[in-house]
Amino acid sequence: MTINKEQLKAEMLAMYETILHDLNEELKAKKSLANLDEDNTLDPEDFSNQTESREMTLLLEKQIEKTRFDLDRVQHIDFSEKSEAGIGSIVTTDMFNFVLGVATTPFLFGNIQIVGVSPEAPIFRSLLGRKKGDSFTFSGNQYNINNVQ
């Protein structure tokens, strides 16, 4: 099974751009709730909601920053053909398909389920340098590598 890596990169970029757009829209909504006119607010619950909205705003800003970082990371990954596992490679095993370089939740690419693995993830070290036919154990599971590209 060969995966079109340029198409995969384009889909990953689109996925991150969608996430970024949605987070920015959510941030706009939360900011409008956090900016209550305090002169017209008499209910203590309104102040509580305002504080909660400010906290959510800060969390959303952090998520946006991380998503921008991940988007930039995907843009700069070299997805050329690889013979061993490293950043920009796709590793197909008997259990999962991994794209190395950036963390993602599992997603479908065509009919293939793929999960992104960042260099900071513990499994990245287990995959690094592996080749087709190699095997490794991670979290008590044995993985057999069917392909690296």
Residue 37: per-residue pLDDT: 55
Residue 34: per-residue pLDDT: 61
Give residue-wise pLDDT tens across range 27-69: 998 887 666 555 555 555 555 556 677 788 999 999 999 999 9
Give residue-wise pLDDT tens across range 126-145: 999 999 999 999 999 999 99
Q: How many residues does the chain have?
A: 149
Residue 93: per-residue pLDDT: 97
Strand order in the sheet with 107-109: 107-109, 112-117, 97-100, 90-93, 141-148, 135-138
- Specify the pTM: 0.80
